[in-house]
Amino acid sequence: MRYLPHTEEEIRSMLQEVGVADLEDLFSTIPGDCRRSGDMPLPKPMTEWELNAHMDQLAGRTAAAPEYRIFMGAGSYDHFIPSATSYLLSRSELMTAYTPYQPEISQGTLQAIFEYQTFITRLLGLDVANASMYDGASALAEALLMAIRITRRKKVAVSSLINPLYRRVVRTYLEPTGYEIVELPYTDEGRTDFSALTGLDELAGVAVQSPNFLGCIEDLPAVSEAVHADKKTMMIACFSEPMAFGLLKSPGSQGADIACGEGQSFGIPRSFGGPGLGIFATRSKFVRNMPGRLVGQTVDKEGRRGFVLTLSTREQHIRRERATSNICSNQGLCATNAIMYLATLGGSGIRQLARLNRDKAEYLKGALAQAGVRIPFTAPTFNEFVAEFPKGFDATWKKLLKKKIVAGLPLAPYYDEMANHYLLCATETCSREDMDLLVKEVTS
Amino acid sequence: MKETVGTHGLVFNEPLLWEKGAAGRNGFSMPSRDVPESPLDEALAGAGPDFPDLSEVDVVRHFTRLSQWNFGVDSGMYPLGSCTMKYNPKTNERQAALPGFAGAHPLLPAELCQGTLQLMYDLQEFLAAITGLPAVTVQPAAGSQGELTGMLIFAAYHKSQGKARHKILIPDTAHGTNPASAALCGFKAVAVASNESGVLSPETVAGLMDEDTAGIMITNPNTLGLFEENIHEVARIVHDKGGLVYGDGANMNAIMGIVDVSQLGVDVMHLNLHKTFSTPHGGGGPGSGPVCVTSELEPFLPVPRVVKTKKGYELSEDFPQSVGKLHAFYGNFGILIRAYSYILSMGAAGLKKATQLAVLNANYIKEKLKGDFHLPYDRPCMHECVFNDKIQEAYKVTTLDIAKRLMEHGFHPPTVYFPLVVHGAIMVEPTETECKQDIDAFIETMKTIAAEARENPELLHEAPQITKVRRLDETLAARKPCLTG
């Protein structure tokens, strides 16, 4: 096996040094009744070339662009990834390193993460960002737990227009310890209804997603006013499409105490949902209650600038059961991927690209409306929106799969009241021609 | 002077991203605009983030230079105990980048993603075969999320038995994540001291286990690199009081093909695909922490689960006792692809051989170095061995100094100051992918450093001198946090 470098002769001489007769004898401390009797029932090993053929065949059994036209976002977005980003990310000094516990030989990872943290704070309009979390959903759960820690309250309110999959993860994280979760309803225009906050007191935090699951941009200043009516309650602004902040006002500038969500859009392949990037940012005064790793700037003994992991007394390996989270690693390479992508895009680039994303989806929305499709929610949207098709559209939707078109995500499984509603997405990767084709197919 | 692996080279300085570039520069090929501009309410529009504008060459040089300041497994031996820094096969990267995988949308209807679902299903089967525990979820995104899943399963199980329990036993040799994960489920951690041989005593466990204790979390082999030889008895004591046994599988690389985990009495175990199954650590993730359980605990596994039906593979939510969802989608699928490729490349015999050679390498180092460095537990080890700086104390040389000096010789330091039960621990895990020559070079270097400690301790106190930066002021970083530029 090519990953095992020992020759038979070397094994013999090493065994001799250790003082045992054969490889089996190395395991003498394992009691006989713990031993496996037979071989592990696994397929016989493949050569590199057999593996390539097998994997080509498996990968070929999954729909992907450009063969398929997939007008679906819902937390996983198709954006062009520059070759330079993928190429740089494969630098094995970055890819095959461990957590930067030895800073003198990890400055590459550390500076890249410091730059990532800085870009994220500038994007979200907040003071500090951590080195990343597992995904948008667990980042939201951790944000709510953080609000619970800071306020010492036991109840949170969560908009029903937060990605339903994120809300399920929140339940998994919060319910075992008995915290109460109240879901806020939504308005006819497709925004969270904050009038429901009246009468809810002692809230640790209120979470809202913008752009929300329906693609609608929430009125964050109004959210802030409603949430901060109670000075202690924390406003958590979640997102699954951070590309929007190239165009929209940042959550931090509109009152959010914590902004968190998914960063897959920043140059990370969709890869069937993971690995993605949990983005997490907050205000300086909350930093010691923040979960996750942090990279900080310092100097070496000759006074030169350098970077280290810092404020680790918050973390599990020091504080154990009193840590701010059980998170141990982060999504280091995904954060590195994001900073490479954002650096490539630049300040001018992200403005243009975000604008183009919105315009593509607005074109599709307008074309569908013109063809007679109902657009039920009137709030402004970023690169995705809901369309309501006539009853029986599910047959058309299925028929289109055969034509290699995925005409959005059916919403009925997520919202009982949304039969025949579909969430459609168009990013910069959709051409006008593709969108015209979709309009023709869904209305014919 | 004898040549060492580590040497001087041309290293570039490189500023922070926002210290370079010029407004109007462009590194991204902007897609052509084929749709009209659409107006946006001014109240919503922002100024956009304050990012620098850089060219493609700016960005490529920047990150190439940064990468050269890093040490990876591809640079050299990385004997970081407990982290299993084995070689990361390159074919795995090829497979993960296949357009059908990398481009797959997670919410595709099942008929359009049979390939990805089959891969997840087969990987679950493989992990079941390797551990002996029949039911598997690959959803947890990292080892710590695997632990959390395990603790959620403990809590759900006891609830289903009609009585919630509030405590959990955690040995002093455990990873720090264990108590933190247990705390998230409302369990109070009760520390269990290991005995003078470095393993758990059944009597100690019996003295602590009661009917308000949900179970025990055991790392086996433990963080001293020792096999918990009393695990059967410990498991029996815990099971007799209605508790469950959690196995932290971070050290699975020591027992593949040798031990059947289900026979140990373990009910739940997480694996770290980024350790045992060769996926890259990425400078701190993404990892993946699948959880394997007994058939009795299968109903509690996270949803959705991949099931095989006559029509093919599907995602099923139909598990009413499930602990729920831990990840927005199905976990770190890209990492699953790499682990799957590794297992298919190795086969059963290859994985067993990997374990044998990992244990051989560790014992060989232990035998060769135990005269030069103090070995607190002098007995056969598994895949890692733990020394400390007791001998070097006389020369005022610490574990940290030894670690820093190793860098100058071209080796990544071992894990230091962990496990906590050994004062000044130096935890060496060579892994099986290091050849005898490199292992010998490491041993030779450690002996040289032991001699330097006696003869020229200043060399160690001043190390490292040839790295991009020298020792960094961590106190300053924590006292006056500068977390953004």
pLDDT given at position A164: 98
CATH number at residue A194: 3.40.640.10
Percent pLDDT > 90 in chain A is 93
Same domain, A369 and A274: no
Same domain, B185 and B319: yes
Same domain, B356 and B224: no
**Optimal mutation site among A3, A295, A375, interface B, most CBs of chain B within 10 A:** A3
What residues in B contact A138, CB-CB < 8 Å? 141, 145, 326-327
Distance CA A416, CA A410 (A): 11
pLDDT tens string B371-397? 999 999 999 999 999 999 999 999 999
B119 touches chain A (CB under 8 A): yes
CATH number at residue B115: 3.40.640.10
What is the span of the domain harbouring residue A320?
84-341
pLDDT tens string B424-483? 999 999 999 999 999 999 999 999 999 999 999 999 999 999 999 999 999 999 999 999
Confidence class of residue B203 from pLDDT cuts 50, 70 and 90?
A: very high
Is residue B224 predicted with pLDDT exceeding 70?
Answer: yes
B434 touches chain A (CB under 8 A): yes
Q: Which of B261, B236, B269 is nearest to B153 (CA)?
A: B269
Query: Measured on CA atoms in the order A45, A50, A55, A60, is the torsion positive or negative?
Result: negative
Same domain, A333 and A413: no
* Residue finishing a domain among A318, A341, A364: A341
**Optimal mutation site among B133, B228, B279, B327, interface A, most CBs of chain A within 10 A:** B327
Same domain, B197 and B311: yes
Q: What is the mean pLDDT of residues B42-61?
A: 97
Q: What value does the mean pLDDT of chain B take? A: 96
Same domain, A125 and A240: yes
Same domain, B313 and B215: yes
Same domain, B251 and B295: yes
What residues in B contact A49, CB-CB < 8 Å? none
What residues in B contact A45, CB-CB < 8 Å? 344-347, 349-350
Query: A146 vs chain B: nearest CA distance in angstroms?
Result: 12
Query: B97 vs chain A: nearest CA distance in angstroms?
Result: 9
**Optimal mutation site among B123, B472, B476, interface A, most CBs of chain A within 10 A:** B472
What residues in A contact B30, CB-CB < 8 Å? 349, 352-353, 356
pLDDT given at position A330: 85
Confidence class of residue B172 from pLDDT cuts 50, 70 and 90?
A: confident
Total domains present in chain B? 2
| Neighbouring residues of A98: CB distance < 8 A, sequence distance ≥ 6 | B78, B80, B83, B85, B281, B283, B284, B412
Same domain, A395 and A298: no
What residues in B contact A91, CB-CB < 8 Å? 63-64, 67
Confidence class of residue A318 from pLDDT cuts 50, 70 and 90?
A: confident
Same domain, A112 and A167: yes
Same domain, A247 and A395: no
Same domain, B233 and B380: no
Same domain, A321 and A414: no
Q: Using the beta-carbon criterion (under 8 Å), do B44 and A380 form an inter-chain contact?
A: yes
Same domain, B353 and B333: no
Same domain, B306 and B351: no
Q: Kindly tell me the number of DSSP H helices and DSSP E strands found in chain A.
A: 12, 14
Query: Does residue B373 form part of some domain?
Result: yes
**Optimal mutation site among A16, A49, A271, interface B, most CBs of chain B within 10 A:** A271
Give phi and psi for B69, each to the nearest 5: -90, 0
Query: What is the pTM assigned to this prediction?
Result: 0.98
Chain A residue whose CA is closest to B181: A326
What residues in A contact B26, CB-CB < 8 Å? 346, 348-349
Is residue B1 predicted with pLDDT exceeding 70?
Answer: no
Query: Does residue B72 form part of some domain?
Result: no
pLDDT tens string A5-17? 999 999 999 999 9
Same domain, B456 and B312: no
Query: Does residue A7 form part of some domain?
Result: no
Is residue A224 predicted with pLDDT exceeding 60?
Answer: yes
What residues in A contact B257, CB-CB < 8 Å? 36, 39-40
Q: Which of B343, B335, B338 is nearest to B94 (CA)?
A: B338
What is the span of the domain harbouring residue B418?
347-469
Same domain, A197 and A225: yes
Is residue B164 predicted with pLDDT exceeding 70?
Answer: yes
Alpha carbon separation from A276 to A129, B1, B102, B376, B399 (Å, rounded): 17, 48, 12, 42, 37
pLDDT tens string A149-198? 999 999 999 999 999 999 999 999 998 889 999 999 999 999 999 998 98
What residues in B contact A74, CB-CB < 8 Å? 107
- Residue A273's identity, in one-letter code, is G
Is residue B176 predicted with pLDDT exceeding 80?
Answer: no
Is residue A412 predicted with pLDDT exceeding 70?
Answer: yes
Same domain, B357 and B338: no
Q: What is the mean pLDDT of residues A421-438?
A: 98
Partner-chain residue, chosen from B45, B106, B380, that has the shortest CB–CB distance to A248 = B45
Query: Does residue A252 form part of some domain?
Result: yes
CATH number at residue B443: 3.90.1150.10
Q: Using the beta-carbon criterion (under 8 Å), do A249 and B482 form an inter-chain contact?
A: no
Same domain, A218 and A122: yes
Q: Using the beta-carbon criterion (under 8 Å), do A349 and B53 form an inter-chain contact?
A: yes
Q: Using the beta-carbon criterion (under 8 Å), do A104 and B67 form an inter-chain contact?
A: no
Q: Using the beta-carbon criterion (under 8 Å), do B176 and A3 form an inter-chain contact?
A: no
Query: Measured on CA atoms in the order A262, A264, A270, A275, is the torsion positive or negative?
Result: negative
Total domains present in chain A? 2
Same domain, B386 and B300: no
What residues in B contact A172, CB-CB < 8 Å? 152, 302, 323-326
Report CA Rg, chain B: 25
Q: Using the beta-carbon criterion (under 8 Å), do A299 and B182 form an inter-chain contact?
A: no
Helices (DSSP H) in A232-315: which residue ranges? none
Give phi and psi for B333, each to the nearest 5: -55, -40
Same domain, A74 and A88: no
Return the structure tokens found at A215.
């693609």
Same domain, A303 and A429: no
Query: Does residue B353 form part of some domain?
Result: yes
Q: Using the beta-carbon criterion (under 8 Å), do B183 and A326 form an inter-chain contact?
A: yes
CATH number at residue A380: 3.90.1150.10
pLDDT tens string B204-221? 999 999 999 999 999 999
Query: Does residue B193 form part of some domain?
Result: yes
pLDDT given at position B478: 95
Same domain, A159 and A136: yes
Residues pairing with A424 in the sheet: A385
Q: Using the beta-carbon criterion (under 8 Å), do B259 and A30 form an inter-chain contact?
A: yes
Q: Which of A159, A161, A172, A164 is nearest to A203 (CA)?
A: A159
Query: Does residue A75 form part of some domain?
Result: yes
Query: Does residue B61 form part of some domain?
Result: no
Query: Does residue A63 form part of some domain?
Result: no
Q: Which of A416, A331, A422, A412 is nearest to A376 (CA)?
A: A422
Same domain, B193 and B326: yes
